[in-house]
Structure 1
Amino acid sequence: MNDTQAKPAYGLGRAARLNLVWEMLNEMGETGRNMDAILSSRFRHMQDQLERRDRRDLENRTRSVLMNYRKLLWWLKKIKLQPTMRTLLLADMILSEKSDIAQLEKLCIGSKNRMDMLRKEEIAGLKRLLGKDMIHPDMSEGVQADCPDWAVKGLKEVFGDNFADELRALNDKPSTDFRVNTLHSDRETVKESLKSQGFQTVETPMSPIGLRQLDAGGPLLSETEAFRQGWIEIQDEGSQLVAQIVGAKKGMQVVDFCAGAGGKTLAMAAMMENSGHLVACDVHSKRLQRAKVRLKRAGVVNAERRQLESTFDKWVKKSRGKFDRVLIDAPCSGSGTWRRNPDSKWSKDETDLAELVKLQSEILQSAARLTKTGGRLIYATCSLLPEENERQIEAFLAQNDSFAVVKAVDIWAELELGDYPSASQDYLRLTPAQNNCDGFFACVLEKR
């Protein structure tokens, strides 16, 4: 068989895919790199070997182990098997996919690019999982919800009786949303352009400038005309709404204090119609470099990038009281995005949370100085934990009596964004269970 005939119709075989998942899980454990980064790297280096169905299967299997991590640990302890990435994966195959021992033995044959053969103790332990469901009534509420210990108390405080439903939604597969760049196009035009290239989308129910992908067919997004022309960016609907509530307008002076790679900077530039002055700040130069590429593709001309040496950079002191809008998209636990980044909940602990809370407080105190009298300071996170959200605002207001909360529900009406999507009147709080988007918190403070 020649080289052109060698590639099978289904790319990799099932056993090779299972082995690849095991390798990627081990890489996550050994390097601390997140799931998306490892998947992207593997897909890029193996692009000539992988079919679209291979990629989907690899991602789903990897996600399944991470989404069921605490439950799998519970089961492995019960059946007295040492918890490793291998035993977690094999147990997940039985509990999630109802595989049997014979099927696993066919996949684990010990040859090149295949998992090692099952050992006697593994077979004995795994047999005890046959016919069992993933969730067992003896599991604690935190284990059943696959919630890390450090987050259980805070999330139960926020969600109360809805804890299980909310955590279940945080395990659902997320949608892929696009934000239409209104500097260059409109939603209907972009929708039709994507459709002509195999992307089926619908309008997002809350964001007036969003589209949601319905299937994974068609080319890669980067190959579409809409992406190449800068008409769209990938951005979750919840993130779009946080940018909307900033209320950036034409001619304003606006700063995105923790801009990262510029997702919300891009959204606000479009809201400002490329007028006024927009500053994208961050302490990480590599993130700002990625923002440079995105700003250029989107045709943004009213934004500058500024790298800060620290939270209390000298530039902040020099720019005191100059900005109409100051957005703080604060670094956080990311608990609202667990459905996208399931590995992140297992890479943090109580110490990390405490350090994040301290950093958020410092950022709030520093960035607040940029706000002019009558201007607004918007504090946002992609976290659902009260320590990072409501309590941060309460602590800030106790030390800064020149600021006051502007009710999110009133701003929503002011911006004519339609039905208000949050249960809280004061703060914008979005969750996957209630809003079918990532979890976000946003509070608007006005300097008076």
Structure 2
Amino acid sequence: MTPAARVQAAIEILDHINQGTAAEKALTTWARRARYAGSGDRAAVRDHVFQALRCRRSYAALGGGTNGRALMRGALIDAGVALDTVFTGDGHSPAVLDTEELTKGRDPAAGAEQGNLPDWLWKRFETALGTGNARLSAQILQQRAPVTLRVNSRLSTAPQAIEILKEDQITVTSCDLIDTALIVIEGARRVAGSRAYCEGYVELQDASSQAAMAALSVAPGSRVLDYCAGGGGKTLALAARVTADWFAHDANESRMSDLPRRADRSGITVTCLETNAIADAAPFDLVLCDVPCSGSGTWRRAPEAKWRLTSERLEELCVLQRDILQDAASLVAPDGQLAYATCSLLPEENDHQVTRFIDQHPDWEITLQKSWSISEWGDGFFLASLKRSGQKT
């Protein structure tokens, strides 16, 4: 595919997304239909689509509209590419721009438009982070997220993992956030098939998430439940540090389908619990609740989420978070620990939830509370650890 043909493919996919199709589904449908597209073509088209979603409002302003053609016009203008070199109408290139299209477009307005957030979310970002940090966080969310690996300390050291990764032409660099994190700077698309990954020396995991799990205290021999496990990445990160009895649960059990295989290659055993089996397995010395949330700290990875989130949906998530925290507390041993985590930047999902729980349960107290801001190397993340009052930390 020519560069212009890739832009045309992105235009068509963005139009499907605008009609309500999920981004991943729209990309998969296009890839199945476009048998002629090689792996490099598919990667380039995907990059176009996700960058347009990250910068949807500013590209819409620059391109003069919200359809696929306008968004890609905005993207090209932002990148300093001459439009007439892409919109040529030749072969599979986008059709030539008409007079109306050429006259549309303007610079994005300061605030939510430049920050590429809905107006209501921009106000919450400013309230939560302050205007300066809101602008910085919004700017980082417009960039592609790094591919980050976690060194499995059970099987390898960082220098050893780096050498094994080199066998598959994967180049990494260390990360200041946590010494187990390696940032991939070359060969990211080779990670999944590499020996380092397939044999459990490394796992894919954001650096902030790694740092949060490293901040949790887990005693050897503990019984630990990852209550909202998803794929189980946080269980594996904790288990790399200490020998304990590991349990995982998720309301959607299919999310854990790959966990036994991942645990096996990491050198650990994880017991996956169905919902109706949790009470019989309790109590636990640590219950970790990485609750469903807005994901605002990870929107550069899943940018369509910020456009689909509504204030009503955010309130629904907050209610769900409160319910999960309440349910999980009942599973904690008398001298155990309850950990609450999100990948959100919004206080109503973070410290407000913890404060509310403490207000309603005065026999509990906060022993650890920490936030990780969005940075070049890590997502936004929040962690709090609670114990019953009077316990030693």
Tell whether the structures are fold-level matches, with TM greater than 0.5.
Answer: yes
Q: Which sits farther off after the overlay, 249-258 or 152-161?
A: 152-161
Q: Give structure 1 stretches of 5+ with no counterpart.
A: 1-11, 309-313, 408-426
Are residue 271 (structure 1) and residue 241 (structure 2) matched? yes
1:204 Cα offset (Å):
2.1
- Letter of the 1:348 counterpart: L
Which residue of structure 1 aligns with residue 292 of structure 2? 331
* Correspondence 1:240 to 2:240: no
Tell me the residue number matched to 2:259.
291
The answer to whether the 8 A contact 2:14-2:67 is kept is no
Alignment of structure 1 residues 126-275 onto 2, 5 Å: 129=105, 134-135=107-108, 139-160=109-130, 161-216=132-187, 220-273=190-243
What is the identity, as a one-letter code, of the residue corresponding to 2:111? E
The answer to whether the Cα contact below 8 Å between 1:250 and 1:271 also exists between their aligned partners in 2 is: no
**How far is 1:114 from its partner?**
4.1
Gaps of 5+ in 2: none
CA shift for structure 1 position 74? 3.9
The structure 2 residue matched to 1:345, chosen from 306, 312, 315, is 306
Q: Distance in 1 between matches of 2:359 and 2:316?
A: 21
Deviation at 1:315, TM superposition (A): 4.0
Q: How far apart, in 2, do the equivalents of 1:181 and 1:91 lie?
A: 42
Q: Which amino acid aligns with 1:87?
A: A
Q: What is the distance in 2 between the residues matched to 1:20 and 1:325?
A: 48
Tell me by how many angstroms 1:90 deviates: 2.0
**Residues 34 and 307 of structure 1: CA distance in aligned 2, closer, same or farther (over 3 Å):** farther
Task: Specify the SS of the correspondent of 1:428.
Answer: strand
Structure 2 distance, partners of 1:223, 1:101, is 38
CA distance in 2, matches of 1:441, 1:50: 39
**Among 26, 33, 41, which residue is 2:15 paired with?**
26
Distance in structure 2 (CA, Å) of the matches to 1:28 and 1:324: 44
Report the alpha carbon displacement of residue 280 of structure 1 after superposing the two structures with TM: 0.5
Aligned residues: percent identity? 28
In structure 2, relative to structure 1, the CA distance for the partners of 1:162 and 1:31 (3 Å cut) is closer
CA contact (8 A) 2:299 2:306 kept: yes
* CA deviation after TM superposition for structure 1 residue 31, in Å: 4.5
Tell me if 1:446 matches 2:387: yes
Cα gap change, 1:51 to 1:34, in 2 (>3 Å)? closer
2:345 equivalent to 1:404: no
What CA distance in whole angstroms lies between the structure 2 residues aligned with 1:242 and 1:45? Answer: 42
Contact persistence 2:84–2:96 (CA under 8 A): no
Cα–Cα, structure 1 residues 189 and 252, in superposed 2: closer, same or farther, change >3 Å?
same
- Tell me if the contact between 1:202 and 1:212 (Cα under 8 Å) persists in the aligned partners: yes
1:91-147 superposed Cα distances (whole Å, 9 cap, x missing partner): 3222x12333422431x34x5x4434434432343xxx4xx6x54xxx241222112
Closer, same or farther in 2 for the Cα pair 1:47/1:38, shift >3 Å? same
- Per the alignment, in what secondary structure is the counterpart of residue 393 of structure 1? helix
Structure 2 match to 1:418: none
For residues 430 and 47 of structure 1, what CA distance do their matches in structure 2 show? Answer: 42
Does the 8 Å CA contact 2:76/2:83 hold for their aligned counterparts? no
Matches within 5 A, 1:12-23: 12-23=1-12
1:47, 1:190 → 2: CA distance? 36
Partner of residue 72 from structure 1, selected from 59, 64, 67: 59
Match of 2:371 in 1: 429
What secondary structure is seen at the aligned counterpart in 2 of 1:346?
helix
The one-letter code matched in structure 1 to 2:194 is: T
1:260 partner SS = coil
Matched, 1:85 2:68: yes
Q: 1:100 aligns with which of 82, 95, 107?
A: 82
Question: Given that residues 13 and 68 in structure 2 are in contact (C-alpha distance below 8 angstroms), is that contact kept between their aligned partners in structure 1?
Answer: no
Change (3 A) 1:224 1:340: same
Displacement of 1:56 in angstroms is 4.8
Q: How many residues align?
A: 388
Instruction: Give distance in 1, aligned partners of 2:254 and 2:164.
Output: 32
Cα distance, 1:164 vs structure 2: 1.2
Report deviation, 1:395.
0.9
* 1:69 maps to amino acid: R
CA distance 1:236–1:45, shift in 2 (3 Å)? farther
Q: 1:373-388 alignment to 2 at 5 Å?
A: 373-388=334-349
Partner Cα distance (2:315, 2:46) in 1? 32
SS of corresponding position for 2:330? helix
Task: State the Cα RMSD in Å.
Answer: 2.5
Aligned counterparts of 1:38 and 1:123: Cα–Cα separation in 2: 28
Shift of 1:47: 8.1
